[in-house]
């Protein structure tokens, strides 16, 4: 049982609790850049996944290939004003794609029910802005998942990998100390956020950005192929500092039990 050991679990959204494969941001970013006459590919869109979307746009613009293509298309290198304009175009595209990809990842509802039954508070934070989340949160709630708090990009002075969104979530649910709380994320930058906050961290590999396949695409692969892709994504999450790595949130309970045992033994997560 987690009761009395783990105070709160704070989840990411896309690729962790909804949107298997983290598809919505990729499709929206590709469409937004296409609107400027600049082609980006999925691997580029995924490189900085998990960051606040304005930071994500900035990171893409600094990639040498994209910056060069932008310069050829526009006649000048991309500027902050260009980034602001592209981000403004991205927000409505993200709302459309987020609504399309708002299905909960299998096991999410059952996990949330188990946590609440054990007195564990459920928080969430995301690289999505509040307007983007207006399409996701009600759809998730209708499927049975409604965390105690949602902290969105832009609501703290700094986004991931800073710990501020995660700390804000913990403050809101009154969960402390941080070393008795857990951050669950599919992106390396989200694991970095959890480590910086002083929380235990669990990476989800198969459902997340590292594999980058929809549930249908992933399940269509042979078992060996699924395992190989999840293992590759898991290694990246471990390298980012994840204390545990699982395939999806459906597999989370044993890792949480292991963390609870370590907390009861007086252990703390490794310092970032």
CATH number at residue 44: 1.10.150.240
Query: Positive or negative CA dihedral for 154, 98, 166, 49?
Result: negative
Inside any domain, residue 166: yes
Do 19 and 109 lie in one domain? The reply is yes
Do 146 and 75 lie in one domain? The reply is no
List active site positions: 12, 53
Do 114 and 75 lie in one domain? The reply is no
Do 192 and 214 lie in one domain? The reply is yes
Residues of the chain short of pLDDT 70, as ranges, are 1, 272
Do 42 and 169 lie in one domain? The reply is no
Query: Which single residue is written with the structure tokens 């039954």?
Result: 117
**What pLDDT, on the 0 to 100 scale, is given for residue 2?**
72
A 10 A CB-CB count for 155 gives 16
Inside any domain, residue 17: yes
**What pLDDT, on the 0 to 100 scale, is given for residue 1?**
66
CA distance 107 to 17: 9
* CB distance 166 to 199 below 8 Å: yes
CA distance 172 to 250: 26
CA distance 208 to 106: 13
Inside any domain, residue 134: yes
Inside any domain, residue 2: no
* Opening angle at CA 105, ends 165 and 206, nearest 5: 85
**What pLDDT, on the 0 to 100 scale, is given for residue 15?**
97
**What pLDDT, on the 0 to 100 scale, is given for residue 3?**
72
Do 260 and 142 lie in one domain? The reply is yes
Query: Positive or negative CA dihedral for 234, 213, 64, 86?
Result: negative
Per the structure, the count of domains in the chain is 2
CA distance 202 to 190: 10
Q: What token pair was written down for 244?
A: 């545990």
CA distance 140 to 149: 13
DSSP for residue 249: G
Contacts with 188 (C-beta within 8 Å, 6 or more apart), sequence order: 50, 236, 237, 239, 240
Do 46 and 111 lie in one domain? The reply is no
* CB distance 18 to 136 below 8 Å: yes
Inside any domain, residue 153: yes
Do 89 and 217 lie in one domain? The reply is no
Inside any domain, residue 113: yes
Whichever domain contains 161, its CATH number is: 3.40.50.1000
Do 93 and 121 lie in one domain? The reply is no
Do 140 and 247 lie in one domain? The reply is yes
Single residue among 100, 120, 138 that ends a domain in this structure:
100
Q: What token pair was written down for 109?
A: 């509802």
Inside any domain, residue 57: yes
**What pLDDT, on the 0 to 100 scale, is given for residue 89?**
96
Do 63 and 110 lie in one domain? The reply is no
Inside any domain, residue 192: yes
**What pLDDT, on the 0 to 100 scale, is given for residue 91?**
93
Query: What does each C-alpha distance from 240 to 16, 195, 198, 222 come to in angstroms?
Result: 16, 9, 14, 28
Single residue among 73, 100, 127 that ends a domain in this structure:
100
Residue 34 structural domain: 24-100
Do 131 and 81 lie in one domain? The reply is no
Single residue among 76, 100, 124 that ends a domain in this structure:
100
């Amino acid at each position: 049982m987690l009761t009395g050991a783990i105070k709160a679990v704070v989840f990411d959204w896309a690729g962790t609790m909804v949107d298997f494969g983290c598809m919505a941001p990729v499709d929206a970013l590709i469409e937004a850049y296409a609107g400027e006459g600049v082609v980006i590919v999925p691997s580029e869109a995924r490189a900085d996944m998990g960051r606040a979307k304005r930071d994500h746009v900035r990171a893409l613009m600094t990639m040498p290939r994209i910056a060069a293509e932008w310069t050829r298309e526009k006649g000048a290198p991309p500027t902050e004003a260009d980034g602001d304009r592209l981000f403004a175009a991205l927000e409505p595209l993200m709302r459309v794609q987020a609504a399309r990809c708002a299905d909960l990842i299998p096991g999410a509802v059952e996990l949330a029910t188990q946590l609440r039954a054990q007195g564990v508070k459920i928080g969430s934070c995301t690289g999505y802005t509040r307007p983007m989340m207006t399409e996701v949160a009600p759809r998730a709630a209708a499927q049975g998942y409604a965390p105690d708090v949602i902290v969105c990009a832009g609501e703290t002075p700094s986004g991931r990998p800073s710990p501020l969104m995660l700390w804000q979530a913990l403050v809101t649910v009154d969960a402390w100390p941080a070393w008795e709380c857990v951050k669950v994320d599919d992106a390396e930058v989200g694991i970095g956020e959890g480590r910086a906050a002083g929380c235990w961290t669990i990476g989800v590999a198969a459902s997340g950005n590292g594999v980058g396949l929809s549930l249908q695409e992933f399940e269509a692969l042979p078992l060996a192929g699924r395992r190989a892709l999840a293992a590759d994504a898991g290694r990246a999450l471990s390298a980012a500092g994840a204390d545990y790595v699982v395939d999806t949130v459906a597999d989370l309970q044993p890792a949480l039990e292991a963390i609870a045992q370590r907390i009861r033994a007086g252990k703390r997560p490794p310092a970032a």
